[in-house]
Structures are given as structure tokens and as C-alpha cells.
């Protein structure tokens, strides 16, 4: 198992190291070796040193890996001449076709819940964001699509049949999988089909794919109404599928409902490559100060193991991912995880130690199934 590791900028370094420590411990519990990590330098800091946003052979090495783990990229003080930040990550999405951006949103016991309604304790949904097109299309390698004059700038919102059909197929399969695991499995198409032709097309393609999944319940919501409903009744949703920019905004809103961006794990999946990262920024003001919440990165590591268990046909990797998820759940339930981000007293290293401790407490899983934790 070979991982392309991009620690990046700011707290990306801190949280990547935390995630790798937890990942290695969980793999050890299922009798597996630590992954082989090929560390690739990239980001704004690297750009300021070299004029490159990623090592010259970085994308080739990404292509050779089984998966990519990324800490965080970008520094507000280092930008291109047009004012945009250094973002090789956007180009990686485009180059490797990472169209399915999976953003889990889950409430944990003893973690902050911003809504007073007791049903907020049960929030457990996924926002599925198309990650290569939409309003981000011009931001990757498609600068040629921009109209820029002294009086006007135009960006392109792009929706294609090929990518969107793959996204919706991914969404229906994800909803079906969650339904099999006891969730509602309802899939909601979030768009602005009443205004934009491009998003009416997005909904049309959703309906075309829907015919192949008659067992999956569906719903529809305009994005403004969806933002309202995520505050009014987020517990009524299970999987939301939406355009790139809409997903970017809604996933941050939803993350705020369950504590903050320090809990925002993310998987970006393509046909042959998967990239995993915490969805928060680089927070350079707290870099190296042992203040960052590493849980988004740790949970992203669990997503990576789940992905690799299917890609490599190694179910024991999925068992290791389950161990990580269970350790985080148990840590919050025991009130042993108290991130500074939430006003608690625990920094990056203390949180990492607690997750490792909860993994260590669980019985060793034998791949043949002899010693698996009851109830798993």
C-alpha cells in the first residue's frame, strides 16, 4: 500500500503526522504493516521557495500511488499576481478526475452542537460535492475560459453529461450502501434548476440515473432552501448531491452544526485515484503550536482505508478504518476528546494520544475473524 503524502502548508504538517500515527496503529491492530509513504512537497511555502506549487515530478508520483493524503494547502500571504491563492490541489482534482467529493457530517456525544433541538444529536449525513466542474471549473487549469478586462470578469459554470452522470451514479450507490447499513438512504438532489440552465441539466441527469436505482428514495431541494433546511432540520437528510460551489458552501455550513471545520473529513474520489484530506484550511497562525484539532485528518485517514479496502480488495483495511471511527466515537462518548477548537484543553498531541489509547484498548482483530470486537 503506497500513499502519496502531501503535508502542505500551516497545520497541514501537524495534522498529517497525527493522522499517520493513528492510521499505523489501526493497521497494526488488524495485523497489517504501515503504508509506504512517498512525501511530495507542494503548496504555497514550496512555491515561495522554488516558484513551483508542487515538485516537478509530483503529479507522476501521485499517479503511481494507491491513494493520496493531503494535509492543507495555501497561505493567505502568498498569492498569484491575480490575487488567488496557490492551489495545486485544484489541479490535482482536475488532472485525476476526482469528481466525487465526499463530506461526512456527523454529530458526536459531548462535542458542540449548535442547534438546541435534541434531534441535532443524531445528525449523520453526507454532502456529495462534484469537485472538478461547476463554478470551480475556471479555477484549476482552465484560465483560458475566463473573461478578464478592466471592467468585467466572467467565470464559467460547467456541467457535463459524462462527469455528472458518474457523480449521480456514485451518489445513488452511496445512498444504497447507507440504506443497507440502517440509514434512511434518501438521496437529495440540490441545485438551482429553476434559474440556471446548467443546473436544470444537472437535475435532468439525476433523473436519468434515478431509473437505475428504484430502491433509493429521492428528494429535491434548491440550494437556498437547502441551506435553510440544514439549520431547521438537518436530521431529515442522509445524502445530498450537488454542484461544486454549492457543495463547498453547504459542507462548511453543515460542519459548523457539529462542532467546526476541525471535524470536517473529506474524500475526493475519481475512477482510479482517491485523495483524502481534512477540509479545513492551513491556519498558519497556529502552525506548530500544538493547538490544531487533528480529528478531521484522522477521520479522513479512516475514509482512505475504507476506499483502499475496495480498490485493493483488502477488507482488513476497512476493519482498520472502522477501528479509527470507533475510537473517535468512544473518545467523545468518554469525554476524553476536548479539542481547543471547541474551547477544550487538548491540543494536537493530546488528542492524538487519546485516539491511539482508544484504539489500543480494543481487541486485536485477526483477519480470519477470530478476534473481532463484538458488535463490529
pLDDT tens track for 187-198: 999 999 999 999
Instruction: Specify whether 3 is located in the same domain as 29.
Output: yes
* CATH code at position 279: 3.40.718.10
Predicted local distance difference test score (pLDDT) of residue 365? 59
Instruction: Specify whether 210 is located in the same domain as 327.
Output: no
Instruction: Specify whether 222 is located in the same domain as 149.
Output: yes
Dihedral sign from CA coordinates of 224, 208, 134, 274:
positive
Does 81 score more than 50 pLDDT? Answer: yes
Number of domains in the chain: 2
Torsion of CA 239, 245, 6, 47, to 10 degrees: 180
Instruction: Specify whether 233 is located in the same domain as 308.
Output: no
Predicted local distance difference test score (pLDDT) of residue 372? 46
Does 85 score more than 90 pLDDT? Answer: no
On whether residue 108 sits in a domain, the answer given is no
Does 376 score more than 70 pLDDT? Answer: no
Give the tens place of pLDDT for each residue, 309-363.
999 999 999 999 999 999 999 999 999 999 999 999 999 999 999 999 999 987 7
Alpha carbons 66 and 149: distance in angstroms, whole number: 43
On whether residue 107 sits in a domain, the answer given is no
- Cα dist from 213 to 100, 130, 186, whole Å: 18, 20, 12
| Continuous H helices in 222-314 | 223-232, 244-257, 295-311
pTM value? 0.92
Confidence of residue 24 (pLDDT cuts 50, 70, 90): very high
Show the cell assigned to 224. Answer: 437556498
Does 374 score more than 60 pLDDT? Answer: no
On whether residue 106 sits in a domain, the answer given is no
Alpha carbons 103 and 93: distance in angstroms, whole number: 15
Instruction: Specify whether 144 is located in the same domain as 241.
Output: yes
Choose the final residue of a domain: 203, 231, 257.
Answer: 257
Give the tens place of pLDDT for each residue, 280-315.
999 999 999 999 999 999 999 999 999 999 999 999
Give the tens place of pLDDT for each residue, 113-170.
889 999 999 999 999 999 999 998 877 665 656 788 889 988 889 999 999 999 999 9
Distance from chain centroid for Cα 181: 20
Choose the final residue of a domain: 229, 257, 285.
Answer: 257
On whether residue 265 sits in a domain, the answer given is no
Choose the final residue of a domain: 257, 288, 307.
Answer: 257
On whether residue 202 sits in a domain, the answer given is yes
On whether residue 162 sits in a domain, the answer given is yes
Look-up: residue for cell 482505508? Answer: 305
Instruction: Specify whether 120 is located in the same domain as 218.
Output: yes
- Cα dist from 339 to 70, 233, 260, 351, whole Å: 21, 26, 11, 7
Instruction: Specify whether 198 is located in the same domain as 279.
Output: no
On whether residue 168 sits in a domain, the answer given is yes
Instruction: Specify whether 368 is located in the same domain as 335.
Output: yes
Torsion of CA 128, 130, 136, 142, to 10 degrees: 160
Instruction: Specify whether 143 is located in the same domain as 248.
Output: yes
Instruction: Specify whether 74 is located in the same domain as 43.
Output: yes
**Residues paired with 222 in a beta bridge:** 191
Instruction: Specify whether 79 is located in the same domain as 155.
Output: no
Q: Among residues 108, 88, 105, which one has the least CA distance to residue 275?
A: 88
Residue range of the domain that includes 166: 113-257
On whether residue 283 sits in a domain, the answer given is yes
Instruction: Specify whether 252 is located in the same domain as 126.
Output: yes
Confidence of residue 371 (pLDDT cuts 50, 70, 90): very low
Amino acid at each position: 500500500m503506497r500513499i502519496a503524502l502531501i503535508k502542505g502548508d500551516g497545520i497541514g504538517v501537524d495534522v498529517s503526522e497525527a493522522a499517520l500515527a493513528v492510521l499505523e496503529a489501526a493497521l497494526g491492530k488488524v495485523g497489517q504493516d504501515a503504508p509506504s509513504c512517498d512525501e511530495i512537497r507542494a503548496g504555497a511555502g514550496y512555491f515561495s521557495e522554488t516558484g513551483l506549487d508542487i515538485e516537478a515530478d509530483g503529479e507522476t508520483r501521485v499517479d503511481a500511488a494507491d491513494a493520496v493524503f493531503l494535509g492543507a494547502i495555501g497561505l493567505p500571504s502568498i498569492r498569484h499576481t491575480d490575487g488567488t491563492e496557490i492551489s495545486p490541489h485544484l489541479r490535482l482534482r482536475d488532472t485525476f478526475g476526482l469528481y466525487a467529493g465526499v463530506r461526512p457530517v456527523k454529530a458526536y456525544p459531548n462535542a458542540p452542537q449548535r442547534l438546541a433541538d435534541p434531534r441535532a444529536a443524531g445528525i449523520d449525513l453526507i454532502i456529495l460535492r462534484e469537485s472538478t466542474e461547476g463554478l470551480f471549473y475556471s479555477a484549476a487549469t482552465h484560465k483560458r475560459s475566463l473573461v478578464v478586462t478592466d471592467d468585467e470578469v466572467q467565470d464559467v459554470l460547467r456541467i457535463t453529461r459524462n462527469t455528472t452522470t458518474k457523480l449521480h451514479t456514485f451518489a445513488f450507490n452511496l445512498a444504497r450502501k447507507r440504506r443497507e447499513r440502517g440509514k434512511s438512504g434518501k438521496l437529495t438532489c440540490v441545485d438551482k434548476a429553476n434559474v440556471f440552465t446548467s443546473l436544470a441539466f444537472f437535475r435532468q441527469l439525476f433523473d436519468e440515473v434515478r431509473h437505475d436505482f428504484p430502491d433509493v428514495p429521492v428528494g429535491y431541494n434548491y440550494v437556498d432552501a437547502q441551506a435553510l433546511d440544514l439549520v431547521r432540520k438537518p436530521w431529515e437528510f442522509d445524502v445530498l448531491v450537488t454542484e461544486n460551489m454549492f457543495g463547498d458552501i453547504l459542507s462548511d455550513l453543515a460542519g459548523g452544526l457539529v462542532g467546526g471545520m476541525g471535524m470536517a473529513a473529506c474524500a475526493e474520489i475519481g475512477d482510479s485515484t482517491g485523495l483524502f484530506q481534512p477540509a479545513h484550511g492551513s491556519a498558519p497562525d497556529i502552525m506548530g503550536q500544538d493547538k490544531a484539532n487533528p480529528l478531521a485528518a484522522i477521520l479522513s485517514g479512516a475514509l482512505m482505508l475504507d476506499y483502499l479496502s475496495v480498490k485493493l480488495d483488502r477488507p482488513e483495511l476497512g476493519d482498520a478504518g472502522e477501528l479509527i471511527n470507533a475510537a473517535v466515537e468512544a473518545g467523545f462518548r468518554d469525554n476524553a476528546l476536548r479539542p481547543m477548537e471547541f474551547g477544550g484543553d487538548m491540543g494536537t498531541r493530546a488528542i492524538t494520544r487519546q485516539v491511539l489509547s482508544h484504539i489500543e484498548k480494543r481487541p486485536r482483530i485477526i483477519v480470519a475473524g477470530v478476534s473481532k470486537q463484538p458488535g463490529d
